[in-house]
Amino acid sequence: MALAEAGARGRLLRWPRVLLFGDSITEYSFQENGWGTYLAERLVRKCDVVNRGISGYNTRWAKLILPRLITESSSADSIVAVTIFFGANDSALKELNPKQHVPLEEYAANLKSMVQYLKAVDVTADRIVLITPPPLQESAWEKACLAKGDKLNRCNATTGQYAQACVQVARECGTDVLDLWTLMQKNQDFSSYLSDGLHLSAKGNSFLAAQLWSRLENKLSALPSLLPYWRDVDHTNPEASLL
């Protein structure tokens, strides 16, 4: 059978999508042992995990980009989950990092605006997971800042305020939330979860992956494999199995 004929006979295969939207902690999630890689490995036969992490970005910029990533006409119905993971840059101290800083109230409003936009294009609340910024290990991040000739431009207490705002937005909007800031500090020294005081270490990636999967598994594990297991293909008549 010619390929063109096979294509005409078969339905177009469309993989559902999981969209990871965030800053550098999301952008780096496809590195070896990253939390995005963990998700992609578990969902490879069921849906595409799409990384739209953009290093250095904050919610002020993110809310402008989101409508360019998902529109009603671009099959929003194929999106089975979206993570929104911002705050590490928004919570930068205004006097030392005015370019990335976003005031707390605006940060909350921006998150709410993004959730409302997703709902408007038919991505329902049960498919949205907000993720708070992780805690900041100040001494390690200060070393990273000093190496670039900068002063310490973030503090953990401030990051915690943004994390609380994220949790509150999720509560108001009816979405799930992963409060990474609180969970990583629960009865333990959280420094091993971070590689430089801000970004995730291998252990931090593993922790986030496990926490996020526990929230997504019920939503996604029931998704069917889009093509049959190879042993189930009729080798005498593969068209019957595959088209």
Q: Which residue among 113, 179, 196, 206 is the active-site one?
A: 196
Locate 81 and state its tokens: 């989950």
214 is catalytic: no
Q: Residue 241: what pLDDT?
A: 87
Average pLDDT per consecutive 10 residues, the chain (243 residues; last block may be shorter) = 59 89 98 96 93 98 95 77 97 94 98 97 94 95 90 94 98 98 92 95 97 91 86 91 87
Taking CA atoms, 98 is separated from 44, 92, 93, 203, in Å, by 40, 8, 7, 31
Q: Residue 2: what pLDDT?
A: 60
> Do 125 and 174 touch, CB atoms closer than 8 A?
yes
Helix (H) or strand (E) holding 238: helix 238-242
192-210 CB burial, b ≥16 within 10 A, e <16:
ebbbebbbbeeebbbbbbe
Q: Which residue among 24, 113, 191, 201 is the active-site one?
A: 24
DSSP state of 200: B
Q: Residue 74: what pLDDT?
A: 63
Q: In what order do the strands lie in the sheet with 48-53?
A: 48-53, 17-22, 79-85, 128-131, 176-178
CA distance 34 to 214: 16
101 is catalytic: no
User: In CATH, what number does 17-217 get?
Assistant: 3.40.50.1110
This prediction has a pTM of 0.92
Q: Rounded to 5 degrees, what are φ and ψ at 22? A: -175, -160
Q: Which residue among 29, 90, 91, 199 is the active-site one?
A: 199
Residue 10 burial (C-beta neighbours within 10 Å; 0-12, 13-18, 19+):
exposed
Mapping DSSP to helix (H, G, I), strand (E, B) and coil, where does residue 128 land? strand
Q: What's the 3-state SS for 45-66? A: CCCEEEEEECCCCCHHHHHHHH
Q: Closest Cα to residue 195, out of 145, 140, 152, 131? A: 140
Look-up of token digits 């091993």: 192
Q: Rounded to 5 degrees, what are φ and ψ at 17? A: -125, 140
Q: Residue 123: what pLDDT?
A: 93
Q: Residue 220: what pLDDT?
A: 87
122 is catalytic: no
CA distance 119 to 115: 6
